[in-house]
């Protein structure tokens, strides 16, 4: 777990994060940005940032039918059906991969099912590769990995072109292959190599390997395997989350350029998060830092080097919440968040909600748009036998993905504890 302690001193926000004191004074720590103003296109705003809002009973909507969240006012549409899909996990692939294609007309679901984002009909069924990422520029191009190959898939024709990636023996999609740069060119790959080590790659889908970094050995002589390696939206930086927190090299979260030359420390800790480029072009890593000792946690944005290192708290949340974060919308300065109360205790603000959080938010003046309750109850799956319900609790986590223009969010829910997981879209 990470630790964070926040206090306000005058105009300065002081954040004791992972044993490092960082001070962000008002807007001086930010690039100059106009305040983010959220506009509701569906429903009405019904909750202030610190209101406690209880869920109101709502039957699971029919496929393709939009309903108004009775407590928070967002419009929610069910976009997949587990029976029609022929699998209990009829949902997208998680918060770290973009579920929407470049023009938001298609969604990629688990097991390679392509869904029309307007009619919700299945457009194609691809071989299940476990992980897919869309081109950021071509609405019909999808990428997948298989063994040591990167596959380029034309979803309109079904044509697949596979390119081997040296020196990897296998591309580790658990650690890498999470996103593409906004120009549709660069991703980060990782995996075991032919010499028995573990190698990170900056990879251009047109030009191939740009640079590599063989990770050092750990304390017992085994190759160091990161939690994840990702590319920033600009494509200029590769960001790596190492297994241990700390201020030393190969700890915490570090930034490298596309030649894998070390640039700087992003943060000495790590959590679930995403990378974002704000409207002024500054790039940030947004994550959350639970602090059980003080009964709170913070969503924090960390500036990605080579800019001056700074960590800015955006929002205080209840310490029992887990948070999923999706930021890969272009030209906006906000992220989509879902909150999951891992300990179902007393009600509190944002409990089990989907929301938009502005990058200019601060704990003392939150700028957040609360949209809907996701109604997912992963813990309910643990109450079944494996024979009765073969899904693990992770299948129903309310992971989400914001569309490239920022106008819609797709999230996963088992809707009050069912033994299946489906995808829903919420519109502000």
pLDDT tens profile 317-339: 988 889 999 999 998 999 999 99
**Average pLDDT of 67-95?**
93
Residues 198-220: tens digit of each pLDDT = 999 999 999 999 999 999 999 99
Q: How many residues does the chain have?
A: 428
User: Residue 27: which pLDDT band, with cuts at 50, 70 and 90?
Assistant: very low
**Average pLDDT of 176-199?**
97
Using only the alpha carbons of the chain, give its radius of gyration: 21
Give the pair of three-digit tokens for residue 135: 């081109």
Do the Cβ atoms of 100 and 106 come closer than 8 Å?
yes
**Average pLDDT of 12-17?**
42
* Averaged pLDDT of the chain: 89
User: Residue 1: which pLDDT band, with cuts at 50, 70 and 90?
Assistant: very low
Give the pair of three-digit tokens for residue 91: 């949902």
- Percent of the chain at pLDDT > 70 equals 90
Straight-line distance from the first to the last Cα atom of the chain, in angstroms, rounded to the nearest whole number? 32
User: Alpha-carbon distance 232 to 276, whole Å?
Assistant: 7
User: Alpha-carbon distance 371 to 100, whole Å?
Assistant: 19
pLDDT > 80? residue 13: no
- Percent of the chain at pLDDT > 90 equals 77
Provide the 10 A C-beta neighbour count for residue 330: 14
pLDDT score of 33: 64
pLDDT score of 295: 63
Give the pair of three-digit tokens for residue 138: 């071509």
pLDDT score of 289: 75
Q: Would you list the DSSP string of 331-365?
A: S-SEEEEEEEESS--S--TTTTEEEEEETT-BTTB
Give the pair of three-digit tokens for residue 162: 């596979």
Give the pair of three-digit tokens for residue 130: 């476990």
Q: Exposure string (b/e) for 285-296, b if CB count within 10 Å is 16 or more? A: bbbbbbbeeeeb
**Average pLDDT of 370-390?**
91
| pTM metric for this prediction | 0.91
């Amino acid at each position: 777990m990470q630790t964070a302690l926040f206090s306000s001193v005058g105009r300065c926000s002081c954040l004791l994060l992972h044993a490092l004191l960082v001070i962000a004074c008002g807007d001086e720590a930010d690039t100059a940005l106009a305040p983010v103003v959220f506009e509701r296109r569906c429903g009405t705003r019904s909750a202030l940032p610190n209101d406690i809002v209880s869920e109101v009973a709502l039957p699971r909507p029919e496929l393709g039918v939009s309903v108004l969240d009775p407590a928070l006012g967002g419009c929610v549409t069910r976009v997949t059906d587990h029976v029609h899909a022929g699998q209990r996990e009829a949902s997208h692939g998680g918060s770290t991969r973009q579920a929407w294609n470049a023009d938001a007309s298609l969604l990629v679901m688990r097991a390679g099912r392509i869904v029309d984002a307007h009619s919700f009909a299945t457009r194609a069924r691809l071989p299940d590769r476990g992980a897919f990422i869309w081109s950021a520029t071509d609405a019909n191009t999808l990428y997948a990995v298989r063994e040591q190959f990167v596959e380029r898939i034309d979803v309109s024709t079904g044509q697949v072109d596979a390119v081997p990636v040296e020196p990897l023996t296998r591309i580790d999609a658990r650690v890498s292959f999470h996103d593409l740069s906004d120009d549709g060119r660069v991703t980060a790959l990782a995996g075991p190599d032919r010499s028995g080590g573990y190698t990170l790659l900056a990879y251009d889908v047109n030009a191939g390997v740009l640079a590599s970094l063989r990770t050092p050995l750990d304390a017992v002589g085994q190759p160091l395997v990161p939690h994840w390696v990702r590319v920033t939206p600009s494509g200029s930086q590769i960001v790596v989350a190492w297994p241990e927190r700390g201020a030393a090299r190969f700890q915490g979260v570090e930034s490298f350029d596309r030649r894998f030359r070390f640039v700087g420390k992003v943060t000495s800790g790590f959590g679930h998060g995403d990378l974002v480029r704000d409207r002024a072009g500054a790039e940030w890593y947004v994550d959350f830092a639970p602090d059980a000792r003080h009964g709170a946690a913070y969503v924090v944005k960390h500036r990605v080097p080579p800019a001056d290192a700074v960590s800015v708290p955006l929002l205080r949340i209840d310490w029992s919440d887990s948070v999923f974060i999706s930021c890969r919308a272009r030209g906006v300065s906000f992220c989509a968040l879902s909150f999951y109360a891992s300990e179902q205790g007393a009600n509190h603000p944002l409990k089990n909600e989907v929301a938009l959080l502005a990058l200019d938010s601060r704990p003392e003046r939150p700028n957040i748009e609360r949209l809907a309750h996701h109604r997912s109850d992963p813990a309910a799956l643990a109450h079944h036998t494996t024979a009765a319900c073969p899904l693990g609790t992770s299948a129903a986590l309310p992971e989400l993905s914001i569309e490239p223009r920022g106008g819609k969010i797709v999230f996963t829910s088992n809707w009050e504890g069912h033994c299946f997981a489906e995808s829903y879209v919420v519109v502000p």
